[in-house]
Structures are given as C-alpha cells and as structure tokens.
C-alpha cells in the first residue's frame, strides 16, 4: 500500500490472507469505479458528447443537467441498459484473477486487452508495484472526491 499498513482500530485483526486479498480487490475495484465517477462528474462541465442520449425520447446530451440532477433525466430503459452492461462485464470480463493478484484480471493497462488491443503491460516488478500503489492512492482520493 502507498502509506504502508495502518489499522488503528484493529479491524484486520484475525483476518486471513484470503480476507486481505478480498479486501484489497474490493478497494481497487471501488477505487476504479470512483475514478470513473469523478471524471464523469467533472467532464460534463467542460465538454458534452454530440447527438442524442435517447433518440426515442428526444433527449440530447447537451440538454442533460450536471451532477446528481442527471439521474432523474435518464429514461428507465437507459438505466436498464447501464445495469445490464455492468452485469455482463462483471460476469464475463472481470471475474478471474491473474496470478492470485488482487485487482489483476488480465485486462492490461487501462483494460484495453478486454476490447482486443494487446498490451504487454508492465513486466518490471518495481514498475508494477509503483503503478499499483499509484492506482490505489488515486482510487482512495477519488473515493473521497466523489463523496463530496
């Protein structure tokens, strides 16, 4: 971890190696989601996709409000598509760890291997460790940022 092991409340006492790896995997996954959420909160302030969010309902991306106000503007079928996509990705893409390493699903740098672009990744162990620590630190920051 970027700041070392720190557990002042003793919540990790009595945990097994499996528990530790599971918690680290969950931390990394939540950090990745929070990083995307933070970008999704900031980006519409500066740029919008052209075209329609929902052609059948006549909703344009440019007409969508920013922040949490956008939640009520997305049609129910849009939310259904969103959650179906997440369900498929969770079941088919990010469901198996590589080398027992938490958060490593074999998708490569930025997950581009899951869309067919092959990436050699980071072979040097020190570089991998540095990149993972940066991802964990940025994920923690994003989790705090998206809370508000």
Q: How far apart are CA 38 and CA 43, in angstroms?
A: 9
Token pair of 133 as six digits: 């620590």
Answer positive or negative: Cα dihedral of 67, 69, 75, 76.
positive
- Closest-CA residue to 24 (of 132, 124, 106): 132
- pLDDT for position 140: 92
- pLDDT for position 3: 65
Q: How far apart are CA 90 and CA 6, in angstroms?
A: 30
The single-letter DSSP state of residue 65 is P
Q: How far apart are CA 138 and CA 144, in angstroms?
A: 10
Is-contact 54 75, C-beta < 8 A? yes
- pLDDT for position 118: 65
- pLDDT for position 94: 67
For the chain (length 148 residues), average pLDDT per consecutive 10? 74 84 86 91 90 91 88 92 88 69 67 64 80 89 91
């Amino acid at each position: 971890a970027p700041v070392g092991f720190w557990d002042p409340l003793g919540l990790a006492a009595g945990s097994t190696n499996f528990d530790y790896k599971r918690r680290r995997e969950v931390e990394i996954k939540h950090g990745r989601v929070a990083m995307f959420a933070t970008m999704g909160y900031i980006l519409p302030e500066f740029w919008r996709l052209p075209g329609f969010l929902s052609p059948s309902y006549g909703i344009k991306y440019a007409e969508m409000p920013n922040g949490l106000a956008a939640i009520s503007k997305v049609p129910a079928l849009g939310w259904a598509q969103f959650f179906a996509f997440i369900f498929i990705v969770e079941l088919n893409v990010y469901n198996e760890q590589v080398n027992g390493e938490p958060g490593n699903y074999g998708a490569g740098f930025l997950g581009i291997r899951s869309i067919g672009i092959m990436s050699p990744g980071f072979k040097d162990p020190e570089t991998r460790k540095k990149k993972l620590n940066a991802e964990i630190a940025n994920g923690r920051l994003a989790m705090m940022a998206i809370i508000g």
